[in-house]
């Protein structure tokens, strides 16, 4: 009874078949436990000074293919997240992505500091007619099912009710 976010990292030497197997295994685990709330399709971006600094990042076509595979393989109640600061997210939404993840106007992307977050206004403009919706790290389905610890329950319920009032 713990909601999970998981994902696959693209462009680290895996093949398409590896991605398919990973997504199939995530779907199987979710079918058994019902706890996968989202799967992040995360493109690898090489960093200077690392062993993979000269490794090419995945192409857009590879990212798009992974999103389409995820949408085909994963159950409909599992969200597919793509990072808006690393991808052509609008085109990926059209392929099945339905979450842009945590976007902050206060903190940088600590994993990819060279790629700043787009502003909320810019994101909304770019994805129109889709609408951005703020959410907690725990998806509403799992809040409704009570999948949270006793110590955090009141706080999560308070914030989820505040967010529902905003929409």
Q: What is the pLDDT of residues 49-62, one digit of tens each?
A: 999 999 999 999 99
Regarding whether 128 and 159 lie in a shared domain, the answer is: no
pLDDT digits (tens, 9 = 90+) for 60-105: 999 999 999 999 999 999 999 999 988 888 899 999 999 998 888 8
Q: Is the peptide bond before 129 cis (omega within 30 degrees of 0)?
A: yes
Per-residue DSSP letter, 9: E
- Strands across the sheet containing 79-81: 4-10, 36-43, 79-81
Mean pLDDT over 124-150 rounds to 87
Regarding whether 91 and 17 lie in a shared domain, the answer is: yes
Regarding whether 124 and 163 lie in a shared domain, the answer is: no
Q: Domain of residue 86: give its range.
A: 4-132
With vertex at residue 127, the alpha carbon angle to CA 122 and CA 132, rounded to the nearest 5 degrees, is 80
Regarding whether 148 and 96 lie in a shared domain, the answer is: no
Cα–Cα distance, 32 to 12 (Å, whole number): 29
Regarding whether 121 and 142 lie in a shared domain, the answer is: no
pLDDT digits (tens, 9 = 90+) for 25-41: 999 999 999 999 999 99
pLDDT at 166: 54
The enclosing domain of 81 has a CATH number of 3.20.20.70
Regarding whether 71 and 55 lie in a shared domain, the answer is: yes
pLDDT digits (tens, 9 = 90+) for 140-161: 889 888 888 888 888 888 888 7
Regarding whether 155 and 115 lie in a shared domain, the answer is: no
Per-residue DSSP letter, 99: B
Regarding whether 126 and 161 lie in a shared domain, the answer is: no
Regarding whether 149 and 81 lie in a shared domain, the answer is: no
Predicted structure pTM score: 0.89
Regarding whether 28 and 94 lie in a shared domain, the answer is: yes
Domain total in the chain: 2
Regarding whether 8 and 29 lie in a shared domain, the answer is: yes
Q: Is the pLDDT of residue 44 over 90?
A: yes
76 sits in which H/E element: none
pLDDT band at residue 20 using 50, 70 and 90 as cut-offs: very high
pLDDT at 167: 45
Regarding whether 12 and 94 lie in a shared domain, the answer is: yes
């Amino acid at each position: 009874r713990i909601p999970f976010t998981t994902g696959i990292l693209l462009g680290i030497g895996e093949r398409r078949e590896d991605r398919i197997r990973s997504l199939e295994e995530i779907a199987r685990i979710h079918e058994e436990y019902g706890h996968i709330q989202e799967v992040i399709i995360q493109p690898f971006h090489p960093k200077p000074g690392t062993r993979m600094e000269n490794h090419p990042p995945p192409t857009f076509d590879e990212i798009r293919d992974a999103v389409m595979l995820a949408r085909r393989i994963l159950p409909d109640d599992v969200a597919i997240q793509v990072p808006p600061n690393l991808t052509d997210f609008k085109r990926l939404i059209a392929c099945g992505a339905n979450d842009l993840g945590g976007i902050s106007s206060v903190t940088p992307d600590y994993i990819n500091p060279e790629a700043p977050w787009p502003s909320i206004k810019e994101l909304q403009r770019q994805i129109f007619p889709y609408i951005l919706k703020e959410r907690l790290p725990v998806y509403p389905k799992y809040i409704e099912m009570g999948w949270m610890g006793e110590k955090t329950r009141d706080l999560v319920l308070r914030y989820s009710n505040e967010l529902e009032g905003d929409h």
